[in-house]
Structure 1
Amino acid sequence: MRAMLGTLLPLAAGMAASAAFAGEVQVAVAANFTAPMQAIAADFEKDTGNKVVASYGATGPFYAQIKNGAPFEVFLAADDTTPAKLESEGLTLPGSRFTYATGALALWSARKGYVDDKGEVLKKNQFTHLAIANPKAAPYGLAATQALDKLGLTQAVASKIVEGQNISQAQQFVATGNAELGFVALSQIYKNGKITGGSAWIVPASLHEPIKQDAVILSKGRDNPVAKQFEDYLKGPKAAAVIKSFGYQL
């Protein structure tokens, strides 16, 4: 028994020391990327021993928080313009910005068969509420307004639009039935090649500007090696497989 304890004690001490030296990185993540990020963060922690502390929300408010000194070290935005703006303002690690995914927009209803595969339900205009994310704060909301404009439906549906603060809230409006349908990120309703529930129309990319999503290491992550390690991991094949499985392009 004493010999066994002699073996276990150094092992336990080594595990405790390893845990004590494990690092972490604070990451601001666009709400549309919540599910992929949760999977990638779990893989990252398992593969490296380091932890991702993620906060999820709309890109616009994250920009304001970063400008005001929020402790984020890496930013995964829902567009490419916000990280570029932070870069021009000297609030990032030079050379760290890259496009980690290109998103797709979907018109979705929690009801099966409600949304047809050509989006004709929009033109019929027989719904009461249409959910979108705030176009001033969330790039997917902006893409939704661009699609409506291209379809010539902006005025027709204007009185029926309900805005979520971010894409997660817009999706919740639809999921709870407070809106019959809404524009969401495809990644919120898609996994491994299929829609996970309800009915949806994947909005053609020609109806809106490309939703290029950039990541960047922020100034506060400059001296944290885990920030660079995580960004490299995000560029790797394991993360790429996760990202693709949620309907994003790379």
Structure 2
Amino acid sequence: MSRLKVKILPENINGKKGYDIRILSNTATVQDYLDAVNKAIENNCFYRSRAVSITDCAGCDLCCAERAPLTWVDLCRLREYSGDSSATVQALLDRFGYVVVDGPVVDIMLKRGQDNRCILLDRKTKLCAAYMFRPLVCQTFICCALSRRAELLREAVVNKGEDELVRQWLWEARASKRNPLIHEGYRAKPDLRDWPSTPFAGRVGYQEVFLKDICPEKLWRELIKNEERDRNA
């Protein structure tokens, strides 16, 4: 049996049942984090701010209308879902993504349809048509209550992952001597030099990305299990 590396702890958050996170190993990966969160959401009746009367997300599509930033690994997984292993970053983003550039600032998110719902949503069943390949933000259940440090961890993973996607998007465009795909631009001036390599570089799966490499030092100290600190909490 593999050793548990990330633990989800139920926690009262402003009077609502939410969750906190404890990392149990220096080798914990983003996939360990996702596995722990997914299991906890399935097994616990956490408060859901967008649908307070439900305890099961299946069939609820309210979060599917939210902005959902994509990470580099998300796009690699969507490439697998597409069945086209040779699909370029630009082609995948044109199919699944929406790229907004304002000056040097880039935001890459899941594409939404005319009804403002994610294009991966099955409108009849209100379930994700690509459930096993859904992006990280979707797997971390946007509307469930979570502790401050759990929220900071989620933000750190998403931000680094999206930064790497932007870097890959710009690098591929430069290598092909073409302008990068932009769906919505305002004085767009994205510059590859503004996007250094991240812990996601060269990775195609979340099991390859270590949480310790992503977390700022202060956040890591808060998340990593400390026996003495926990006894005094």
**With structure 1 as the length reference, what TM-score do the two structures score?**
0.25
Q: Which has the higher helix share?
A: 1
Larger-Rg structure: 1
With the length of structure 2 as denominator, give the TM-score of the two structures: 0.26
